[in-house]
Structure 1
Amino acid sequence: MKTFTVEQICELLQGELEGSTRQIITGPEQLEYATSVQISFIGNRKFFPLWEKSKACAAIITNTIKGEPGEGRAFVRVKNADLAMAQLLELFMPEPPLFEHPIHPTAVIHPTAEIGKGSRIGAGCYVGPNTRLGENVTLYPNVTILDNCTIGSATVIWSGTVIRERCVVGDNCLFNLNVSIGGDGFGYRPSADGRGLVKIPHIGNVVIGNGVELGSGVCIDRGKFSSTVLGDGTKIDNLVQIGHNSRTGRFCMMAGNSGLAGSVTLGDGVIVGGSASISDHVTLGNGVLVGGGSGVMNDVPDGGKVLGYPATDAREMLKQWVALRKLAKEG
């Protein structure tokens, strides 16, 4: 078990110590659930009243929040408690699952595949012909990577993930459980006789940049002609759908159950709220914010904030909601 004194934690976070505690800290926890040997976090003044009832011996607190820790307890004051929390969680990170063999005997690796130095491949994995893994790649059990793929160095892929043929993944990516990359796009047209549907072949691939993180159950369809692209640093939550030929800029974020239809373009730093949907061939400019549950059917310029279904300017939509509430009360 990893343990630290509050002084050690304060030094690590380059914070300012207020008060003191003799407790040896065994880990972080929410204010409501912390024990006397745990440290907690106060990033917003509205949570400060919970401190009095909490059993935590210490808390990391944003330095603009007023208050005292109390007898036998301590605050580590920092500029941003949320960022400090991320550092502390890394400090207490448990060890990952054990690999008894660098390459498990039950893994199937094609003779033409290239496996980089330091890579680990778990039980039941499949690595197809002419696929190349960079250095220090980790494939947890039952990952499938088909033909002619490239996986960048230090990328971690969790169990159940399938990467279809000809896809490219950058360095330092993290794919959680059951991700699907490179499946066929959803493309059909009525048949000439009007009695059925004709499937449109998708012969492109998926290209994923460096430092991309994908949550469990994310599906990214291959391009119809060229590539579906995720830019560097993009973070995708669980159960998100990315349609064929869509392209995201750098450092975009998409929350759970949201989705992009085909050929959507996101600029850099776009944030899409949970359960929001972006219609096909729509372009969202740099820094656009889409509220949760919205349906975006038209282009949004740089810096725009949209909300609602159909989505419109967030301030205008809020005014409409207020007006509707007034009408309901008057009626």
Structure 2
Amino acid sequence: MKNFSITEINDLLNGVIVGTTNQRITAPEQLELASESEISFIGNNKYTKLWETSKACAAIVNQDINIEPGENRAFIKVPNADLAMSQVLELFAPPAPHFDEMIHPSAVIHPTATVGEGTHIGAGCFIGPKVVLGDNVIIYANVTILDECTIGNHTVIWSGAVVRERCHIGSHCILHPNSTIGADGFGFRPCPQRGLVKIPQIGNVIIGNWVEIGANSCVDRGKFSSTIVGDGCKIDNLVQIGHNSKLGKFCIMAGNSGLAGSVTLGNGVIIGGSASIKDHLTIGDGAIVGAGSGVAADIPAGKTMLGYPAVEARTALKQWAILKRMANE
């Protein structure tokens, strides 16, 4: 079992130790559940009241936290407790699932596929014609990668994920279980003779570097050209990205949110959980769409939008306040 002294953990964080503890730290845990050998964190003053009843021997805290740690307990004060705690979680993280061999005998790899150095391929995987896998790629069991796809160096693809033909995934990406990259976009048109006619979706998906796609999320291929997810984007579980949408760098989409077709997100856009964005809209750099909102018009850069239909946050809050007063009359 891993264990560290408070000083050893602070050597990683470069914070300031307040108080002392001789307890060896065996794991990180939330304040309410921590035992005497565990470390927790306080990122906001509203959680300081939990410290008194917590059994944790130590906590990583923001610099503005003013309470004292107490007897045989210690704080590590840092500028950002959330970021520092992520380093501690990485320190204690258990090893990834083990591969007994580099390529499992049950994996099917087309003769024209290229597999880079240090790449692992798990049981039941299918790697199609002319696929190119970079170096140190990790592909867990039952992943499907179809014809002419490319996967960049150090990318991890978890079980059940599907990457359809001609799609391109960058380096250092993570595709979580059952994510689907490059399924057909949702395109149909009424036809008097045949009902709804399917429009062929002949484009692809291009995903940049350091992108994470959550479990059961879908990025649809373009009707023509490409659906693009820019470098550093983080996509939560159960997210839908429609065909020919284009995400800039470092966008965040929370669970159950969705983009209809041909939506453009600037850099650093944040989409809250269960928010929905109408097709062919543009959302400017740094804009924020609140959870559950419905966006039906373009959003300028830097704006925060709330509600259904979404309006500027200040306007939405005024509307809600008026409704609340009316309900109480």
2:309 and 2:43 map into 1 onto residues whose CA distance is 34
Which whole-Å deviations, capped at 9, do the CAs of 1:186-217 have from their partners, x for residues lacking one?
A: 11110133x61000000000000000001100
Q: Distance in 2 between matches of 1:293 and 1:104?
A: 43
Deviation at 1:303, TM superposition (A): 0.6
How far apart, in 2, do the equivalents of 1:52 and 1:325 lie?
A: 37
Partner of 1:236: 235
Matching residue of 2:285: 286
Q: Secondary structure at the match of 1:39?
A: strand
Show the counterpart of 1:201. Answer: 200
Partners of 2:289 and 2:51 in 1: CA distance:
34
User: Who is 1:71 aligned against?
Assistant: 71
Distance (whole Å) between structure 2 residues aligned to residue 32 and residue 182 of structure 1 = 43
Mapped pair 1:16 → 2:16? yes
Distance 2:77 2:181 in 1: 43
Partner of 1:36: 36
Partner of 2:113: 113
Counterpart residue number, 2:266: 267
Q: 1:67 offset after TM fit, Å?
A: 1.0
Secondary structure, aligned partner of 2:88: helix
Equivalent in the alignment of 2:102 = 102
Matched, 1:133 2:128: no
Aligned residues: 329
Could you give the per-residue CA deviations for residues 165-190 of structure 1, whole angstroms, max 9, x where no partner exists? 00000000011110001000111110
Tell me which moved more, 249-258 or 13-22. 13-22
Query: Could you report, residue by residue, the CA deviation over 1:2-37 in whole angstroms, capped at 9, with x for unpaired residues?
Result: 110011011110011111111111010000000000
Alignment of 1:83-232 (within 5 A): 83-193=83-193, 196-232=195-231
Calculate the TM-score normalised by the size of structure 2. Answer: 0.99
Distance in 2 (CA, whole Å) between partners of 1:102 and 1:300 is 48
Tell me the SS of whatever aligns to 1:91: helix
Amino acid in structure 2 at the alignment position of 1:11: D
Match of 2:319 in 1: 320
- Over the matched positions of the two proteins, sequence identity in percent amounts to 64
Residue identity in the other structure for 2:273:
G
d(CA) in 2 for partners of 1:80 and 1:152?
32
Q: How far apart, CA to CA, are the structure 1 residues paired with 2:276 and 2:305?
A: 12
Q: Give the AA of the match of 1:318.
A: L
CA distance in 1, matches of 2:222, 2:75: 52
> CA RMSD of the aligned region, Å?
0.7
Offset at residue 275 of structure 1 (A):
0.1
Give SS of 1:60's match: strand
For 2:179 and 2:97, the matched residues in 1 are separated by: 19
Structure 2 counterpart of 1:302, which letter? A
Residue aligning to 2:3: 3
Equivalent AA in structure 2 for residue 57 of structure 1: C
Q: State the distance in 1 between where 2:78 and 2:323 align.
A: 43
SS of structure 1 residue aligned to 2:189: strand
CA distance in 1, matches of 2:12, 2:151: 34
- Provide the rounded CA distance (Å) in 1 between the counterparts of 2:319 and 2:163: 45
Q: Which deviations, in whole Å up to 9, do the C-alpha atoms of 1:232-257 show, x marking residues without a partner?
A: 00000000000000000000000000
Paired position in structure 1 for 2:47: 47
In 1, the alpha carbon distance for the partners of 2:14 and 2:326 equals 54
Taking the aligned partners of 1:231 and 1:127, their CA distance within structure 2 comes to: 25
In structure 2, C-alpha distance between the alignment counterparts of 1:329 and 1:70, rounded to whole Å: 46
In 2, Cα distance between equivalents of 1:215 and 1:221: 14
CA distance in 1, matches of 2:225, 2:327: 51
Instruction: Give the equivalent residue in structure 1 for 2:309.
Output: 310
The whole-number CA distance in structure 2 between the counterparts of 1:244 and 1:300 is: 20
> Separation in 1 of the partners of 2:243 and 2:62?
43
- 1:298 is paired with a residue whose SS is coil
Distance 1:46 1:67 in 2: 12
Residue 306 of structure 1 aligns to a residue whose secondary structure is: strand
Instruction: Provide the secondary structure at the position in 2 that maps to 1:197.
Output: strand
Offset, 1:328: 1.5
- Look up the equivalent residue of 1:132 and give its one-letter code: V
Moved over 4 A (4+): none
SS at match of 1:207: strand
Structure 2 Cα separation of the partners of residues 45 and 243 of structure 1: 40
Separation (CA, whole Å) in 1 of partners of 2:18 and 2:327: 52
